[in-house]
Amino acid sequence: MALQCERWIVSAIDPEIAGQLASDLPREDFVRIVRTFEDDLGRLARILETSVANGDEDGYRRAAHSLAGAAAAVGARRLEQVARIAMDHRNPADPRALALQVRREASEALAELAALAEHPPGAD
């Protein structure tokens, strides 16, 4: 379900968390956080995918745990939820499918965060 957040629709991020960061921080600091998050996501998604390909369950779960933490910090709640599913050793979901879902959710979260960086709340 998408939420209306001023001028855009957000569904991959929590508008309260990300919006608060965007409005409380100077724009350049928020942009730096988004870029750092993007770098971390790329690195962690690669580790997750490599771990799946190599059958490394511990590496897979560690990468998922790190992804969940990074996602939570910026309000990327859907990405966080997928990563938490991947972390749970009791979950029977296919790790390959979850790795693909992580990539999709990461892409959507980054797009919404970039839009938020371009037009932060109260910038008008």
Domain boundaries along the sequence of the chain: 3-118
**pLDDT reading at 40 higher than 80:** yes
Give me Rg for the CA atoms of the chain: 15
> Crossing angle, helix 95-118 and helix 27-54, to 10 degrees?
170
Measured CA to CA, the distance from residue 75 to residue 18 in angstroms comes to 5
The residue type found at 43 is R
**pLDDT reading at 48 higher than 90:** yes
**pLDDT reading at 56 higher than 80:** yes
Q: What is the mean pLDDT of the chain?
A: 85
**pLDDT reading at 68 higher than 70:** yes
Tell me which fold the domain 3-118 belongs to. Four Helix Bundle (Hemerythrin (Met), subunit A) (1.20.120)
**pLDDT reading at 23 higher than 70:** yes
Name which residue leads in pLDDT, 9 or 66: 66
**pLDDT reading at 5 higher than 60:** no
Per-residue model confidence (pLDDT) at position 53: 96
Q: Where are the beta strands (DSSP E) in the chain?
A: 3-5, 8-10
pLDDT in tens, 76-121: 999 999 999 999 989 898 999 999 999 999 999 988 888 888 876 6
Candidates 59, 1, 45, 31; CA nearest to 116 is: 31
